[in-house]
Structure 1
Amino acid sequence: MNLKQHFKQNAAFYKDLWIIALPIALQQLVTSSLNMVDTLMVGKVGVDAVAAVGVSNQYYFLLNMVMFGIYSGGMVYFAQFWGKKEIRNIHRLLGFTLVLGIGLAAIFTGLALLIPEQIIRIFTQDVAVQELGAKYLRIACLSYPFMILSFGFSMGLRAVEKPKFSMIASIIALTLNTILNLILIFGLLGFPQLGVIGAAIATLVSRIVEFILVIGFAYLKTETMNPKLSVLLAFDRELINKLIVTSLPVVINECFWGLGTTAYMVIYGMINVESISIMNIVNSIFNIFFIAAIGVGNASTVMLGKKLGAGEKEKSYQDAILFLKVGIVLGIISGLMLVMCIPVMLQLYKDFEPSTLTLMSHVLIVFAVGLTFRFINIINIVGVFRAGGDTRYAMILELGVLWTVGVLGTFIAVKFFHAPLLIVAIIVQLEEAVKVFFGMFRVRSKKWINQLV
């Protein structure tokens, strides 16, 4: 079959993929691009400032991973309920996840207000970074409740195939964040020069604006994601029990994946502060070239879940294979684009030492090589397995490889062999390759296919 015949035969698949994945990918592109700009602006304050914001955001990252686990578990049911057009059940489960989210946000915010220095000390022993990080965290943590509520409704909008509204809200909010960063970090337009405190204030304001926009779009622009409060709080024990059984492995997965990613940051800190700064920048750049994977991965959850909810099991398997083929092609293209753009990206940080820029370029090349593996894994773990309710295997695969090959491998390399950052980066990509090996066997077995509703 030639390409023309392939696209003609699978026209419906690619149309749905385009409609769902493109807004999510664009949202991720804006997020990653503006985050990189934020890192660049903070970098003008100094390397310590970049490290401070980076380690502070690792704390937020932990909360984000817990909530992504809860909402992703909900998406398993949201998508399959959407396939059966059971909107009320989507709203009831959304309400339960929102209540959990608000509770967790309150805990994380409270700890950040009470003991910010102790939290930052977990990630770095550098006194200057600890002081700056605590100042940033005290203000930025106030944005957590708004972020959690926005996140929940955004996931709901994706499940009912209305991702463009959360995309618009994020683009507006993140653009505002960048403008406020420019004004408050450097003291433009008559404002005082606030440095990392200005970055924290910009984050808080933009999160509040995003919350207002997402809720406004959900209630004013859709008929499927505008639940009444009475429905959101109409908890159904049977539904909640089903959600817990399926979602618990996802929550554990995301929590320990978040901890593992945070452990990487701690291990980078064991090398030196320069490594923390480099990896913050590398991750910001890498995320720009990972946007297609975010879009395709989220689209696979919705599209496969919808088909499974409608009872189309064989079609779900065929589409899963198509998703993986798309992921491989996009992964190779994205990796090549990243390599070609490295000289341009490094120009943005030309104030850094030449040795730092050289090391950064080498790490970026390693991450570019691993991009295809990352594409396949997000489609398998976040998309295929979760859409089919195979969350337990997804958890075992993700965490087993992350903590044995990735975290343990990098820790031993740094602690006992004093490995440089480049070697650590290679081990991180090796982790992704191992996950691909085991994940593909699971897809072919069809054991992930389950109709849950």
Structure 2
Amino acid sequence: MKLMKHYRQHASFYRDLWIIALPIALQQLVTSSLNMVDTLMVGRVGVDAVAAVGVSNQYYFLLNMVMFGIYSGGMVYFAQYWGKKDLRNIHRLLGFTLVLGMGLAVLFTGMALFIPEQIIRIFTNDQTVMVLGAKYLKIAALSYPFMILSFGYSMGLRAVEKPKFSMIASVIALTLNTVLNIVLIFGLFGCPALGVVGAAIATLVSRVVEFILVLGFAYLKTDTMNPKLSVLLSFDRSLINKLMVTSLPVVINECFWGLGTTAYMVIYGMINVEAISIMNIVNSIFNIFFIAAIGVGNASTVMLGKKLGAGEKEKTYKEAILFLKIGVVLGVLSGILLVMCIPVMLRLYRDFDFSTLETMAYVLIIFAIGLTFRFINIINIVGIFRAGGDTKYAMLLELGILWSVGVLGTFIAVKYFRAPLIVVAMIVQFEEVVKVLLGIVRVKSKKWINQLV
């Protein structure tokens, strides 16, 4: 009865949350599921192949984090401008972020084409992994410009509460990616068995298709995310300056968070190649059970930003608390579900040694315990603080704890105490606990609430 009363009191909130969060969560589910399938298929080639694709994708991950920072900074303004129904300024800011994104994509693609071995060497000294990783990277990097453009328009569609279109594009493209992986990795229907090269070609083709679909949906199916080129390129200095003040901490946050996550991969490599393979698989499985957090976190950015843009500060605070409560419930449920699914997940990798599977199981349990804390942190940092323009605190919280507790702690544990992967995984999750404690204090202070437009 209490639950029904609560739902009736907040019916409009849950309706908006459902409309925004569900397509984003489904898109993330498809992405994470197919990434896990990719890892599973490449795993049939061998442990070295899994490690090669894993470390190659860490390079893409860095680009992705930089771009997520730029677009997330834009989302702070997109959401608040959407609260005022100011489409022109949304489109102008989108254009500026797209130009920045293309510049970075060209840079990352060029480096991957000309110095792939040097890039892979950052993560591992294993010669086999370096050779395989360089082959994969040179082809997959050609997809970066297409990914950047579709990513930008997808964020714009989320800001104007049209996330279903980018979800549909991702479902189609990533399904195509899986089909092509099966054909090209193993050489079906008369095609040669290309191994990791086949996986790279599948990634490139699927990203191009996704780009075409996202642009098609934006311009043919909406009247809110179909800006003319002249509007996209009509930069306004004062608007850009405002964006940079708020966005720069977000960009720094995402860049150094990406570097921190990459540092973890380097530290795993200090243990052995097996640890890289295990964590590549664990992360792909973990991301499936983290989808609800992605959906709710992104929805909180849009919904809270929209409320602030309309000047409803007290309602914004109450909804922020409600988002955190939802995060706790979903985090606990997702963690329990992950633990229950571990035996099924391990059977998918039954070709691995028993000791490898045993370590993987323990690491998955540790990550499952940490799920609730990660749910709260993504809602706080990506949703609440950024929606209110409190990006500096979000940056300090994220990076300060990541590097001082997580990266430094795991490095010392491996370098000087030769800690096993299970201990390293515990330290990684402890980082999330510290961030939760400091983040909740900030939320209750209400210092994050700022009306920017």
Tell me if both proteins adopt one fold, taking TM over 0.5 as the criterion: yes
SS in 1 for 2:373: helix
Specify the alignment match of 2:79 in structure 1: 79
Pairwise CA distance, 1:424: 0.1
Specify the alignment match of 2:68 in structure 1: 68
Pairwise CA distance, 1:413: 0.2
Q: How high is the TM-score relative to the length of structure 1?
A: 1.00
Pairwise CA distance, 1:2: 1.4
Specify the alignment match of 2:44 in structure 1: 44
Residues in 2 aligned to 1:244 and 1:187: alpha-carbon distance in whole angstroms: 48
Residues in 2 aligned to 1:124 and 1:167: alpha-carbon distance in whole angstroms: 35
SS in 1 for 2:419: coil
Specify the alignment match of 2:433 in structure 1: 433
Q: Does residue 129 of structure 2 align to residue 129 of structure 1? A: yes
**Unmatched segments (≥5 aa) in structure 2:** none
SS in 2 for 1:436: helix
SS in 1 for 2:350: coil
Q: Does residue 276 of structure 2 align to residue 266 of structure 1? A: no
Pairwise CA distance, 1:3: 1.1
Pairwise CA distance, 1:446: 0.3
Residues in 1 aligned to 2:363 and 2:80: alpha-carbon distance in whole angstroms: 40
Matches within 5 A, 1:44-193: 44-193=44-193
Counterpart residue identity of residue 11, structure 2? A
**Unmatched segments (≥5 aa) in structure 1:** none
Deviations 1:412-437 (A, max 9, x none): 00000000000000000000000000
Counterpart residue identity of residue 203, structure 2? T
Deviations 1:357-410 (A, max 9, x none): 000000000000000000000000000000000000000000000000000000
Pairwise CA distance, 1:134: 0.1
Deviations 1:104-160 (A, max 9, x none): 000000000000000000000100000000000000000000000000000000000
Specify the alignment match of 2:411 in structure 1: 411
Pairwise CA distance, 1:181: 0.2
Residues in 1 aligned to 2:3 and 2:171: alpha-carbon distance in whole angstroms: 34
Specify the alignment match of 2:29 in structure 1: 29
Pairwise CA distance, 1:21: 0.2
Specify the alignment match of 1:447 in structure 2: 447
SS in 2 for 1:447: coil
Matches within 5 A, 1:288-307: 288-307=288-307
Residues in 2 aligned to 1:50 and 1:68: alpha-carbon distance in whole angstroms: 25
Deviations 1:180-202 (A, max 9, x none): 00000000010000000000000
Residues in 2 aligned to 1:416 and 1:353: alpha-carbon distance in whole angstroms: 27
Residues in 2 aligned to 1:309 and 1:127: alpha-carbon distance in whole angstroms: 54
Deviations 1:8-47 (A, max 9, x none): 1011100000000000000000000000000000000000
Counterpart residue identity of residue 404, structure 2? T
Pairwise CA distance, 1:4: 1.2
Counterpart residue identity of residue 276, structure 2? I
SS in 1 for 2:122: helix
Pairwise CA distance, 1:338: 0.1
Pairwise CA distance, 1:214: 0.1
Residues in 2 aligned to 1:329 and 1:11: alpha-carbon distance in whole angstroms: 18
Deviations 1:52-90 (A, max 9, x none): 000000000000000000000000000000000000000
Counterpart residue identity of residue 312, structure 1? E
Residues in 2 aligned to 1:123 and 1:215: alpha-carbon distance in whole angstroms: 35
Deviating beyond 2 angstroms after TM superposition, the runs of 4 or more aligned structure 1 residues are none
Specify the alignment match of 1:420 in structure 2: 420
Specify the alignment match of 2:402 in structure 1: 402
Pairwise CA distance, 1:262: 0.1
Residues in 2 aligned to 1:3 and 1:144: alpha-carbon distance in whole angstroms: 46
Counterpart residue identity of residue 136, structure 2? Y
Deviations 1:236-257 (A, max 9, x none): 0010000000000000000000
Specify the alignment match of 2:228 in structure 1: 228
Matches within 5 A, 1:246-325: 246-325=246-325
The percent of aligned pairs where both chains have the same amino acid is 83
Residues in 1 aligned to 2:164 and 2:15: alpha-carbon distance in whole angstroms: 15
Matches within 5 A, 1:364-375: 364-375=364-375
SS in 1 for 2:262: helix
Residues in 1 aligned to 2:332 and 2:59: alpha-carbon distance in whole angstroms: 32
Residues in 1 aligned to 2:171 and 2:38: alpha-carbon distance in whole angstroms: 14
Aligned CA RMSD, in angstroms, stands at 0.5
Residues in 1 aligned to 2:113 and 2:432: alpha-carbon distance in whole angstroms: 36
Q: How high is the TM-score relative to the length of structure 2?
A: 1.00
Residues in 2 aligned to 1:347 and 1:309: alpha-carbon distance in whole angstroms: 49
Q: Does residue 348 of structure 2 align to residue 348 of structure 1? A: yes
SS in 1 for 2:451: coil
Alignment length (residue pairs): 453
Q: Does residue 403 of structure 2 align to residue 391 of structure 1? A: no
